[in-house]
Structure 1
């Protein structure tokens, strides 16, 4: 189990999306599927018995797809940066992901890359596809624009203060005369819990920003860690329901016990319903209450 898991909000098409994504990257697999019960269906407005979440791997990392409905959409402010070893692999991945979607930057040569393209797929998920070999195949990429433009470096240091296993991998700043505000982050890469993330600042007046369409699940070992992560990540942001919070930059996080997925998957139908009912009444999750609900 990975400490931080990107969660992709879907509108009833999680199975289709996961099937596409896992077909594109070697070593990918589906690990766990959880379906909506009566309580979770009523909470979300989704059909009872339909797929709620899919835990899957792409390459070496875990991801979650959540069928949450049409109320929330993904945004290019958080994309997935894919490193391809060969031109053939890059072209194949780009073609498959762009089919039925929207190309944001055409596939081609750029000053920063021999071959690169950026797109939103047909599910609304944003991907940057690049010709390069890196240890981590796919990396979450956070673009700071609009009200948070120029705060990427600050955010990078803030996130590093919240987690263990951190490291600055690379930082490149805009120089005078470049298409960006001098001194802000042109490209930054860093690690949290050994997992790589990327950030950049954009001075462009984009009409989008961070949304809960891409959130980050933090798997916590006990209540003390849940309390700690909740308290530091929510400062300057907002506390939402069911373990969700929004940090000071507008990025969404889910702070959960690391066994929550297994509890929902392994419990009998009545137990799953009790757990979901308990979650529905919480902001920060209470592990003892969830355990009690699962074992009644």
Structure 2
């Protein structure tokens, strides 16, 4: 059993977000929905929460209004294998109003922050050679979407 379940607070657009994420992530599935009852006032009958799984991780979407918008203080990291997977998630999550940031970070159209992180970058930055780690970090700091080849070239001293 998963001991901790992240809850994402949406501005009364959680149902739209569930459809959006389902179109991006092949294994995304909604496992339960609850609705505002008669006590919900103007929201009676509308979605209150959606429990869902993303890559096997259970999460909750709360449809509760604009009081607490997403910030970069919390993000979801997608560990990718290769540039093709990085490109796929980056392009999907920035489409339709998403925003690119730096170092593999972005916000989707709902304002949720994501890190699209290739495994290759993690290996380059965690290797035993401190100089190569520094070169990898310096190359990454210049990028928005991570371009693996550019970082590998910087680490290996290859110039364009």
Length-normalised TM-score, structure 1: 0.50
Would you say 1:269 and 2:135 are equivalent positions?
no
How many pairs does the alignment contain?
156
| Whole-angstrom distance in 2 between the partners of 1:170 and 1:262 | 37
Is this contact kept in 2: 1:152–1:201, CA < 8 A?
yes
Structure 1 portions without partners, runs of 5+ = 1-134
1:241 CA drift (Å)? 1.1
Q: Larger helix proportion, structure 1 or 2?
A: 2
| Secondary structure of 1:139 counterpart | coil
Q: Which residues of 2 match residues 238-253 of structure 1 at below 5 A?
A: 238-253=99-114
| Whole-angstrom distance in 2 between the partners of 1:172 and 1:252 | 25
Provide the residue aligned with 1:213 in structure 2.
73
1:52-72 per-residue CA deviation (whole Å, 9 max, x = no partner) reads: xxxxxxxxxxxxxxxxxxxxx
| Secondary structure of 2:102 counterpart | coil
CA 180–210 in structure 1, closer or farther in 2 if over 3 Å, else same: farther
Is this contact kept in 1: 2:52–2:60, CA < 8 A?
yes
| Secondary structure of 2:6 counterpart | strand
Is this contact kept in 1: 2:80–2:117, CA < 8 A?
yes
Provide the residue aligned with 2:43 in structure 1.
181
| Secondary structure of 1:138 counterpart | coil
RMSD (CA atoms): 1.7
Stretch deviating more after TM superposition (176-185 or 266-275): 176-185
Q: Larger strand proportion, structure 1 or 2?
A: 1
1:183 CA drift (Å)? 3.3
Q: Which residues of 2 match residues 27-38 of structure 1 at below 5 A?
A: none
1:290 CA drift (Å)? 1.7
Structure 2 portions without partners, runs of 5+ = none
| Whole-angstrom distance in 2 between the partners of 1:263 and 1:181 | 50
| Secondary structure of 1:217 counterpart | strand
| Greater than 3 Å deviation, 4+ residue runs | none
1:164 CA drift (Å)? 2.2
Provide the residue aligned with 2:118 in structure 1.
257
Provide the residue aligned with 1:164 in structure 2.
26
1:267 CA drift (Å)? 4.0
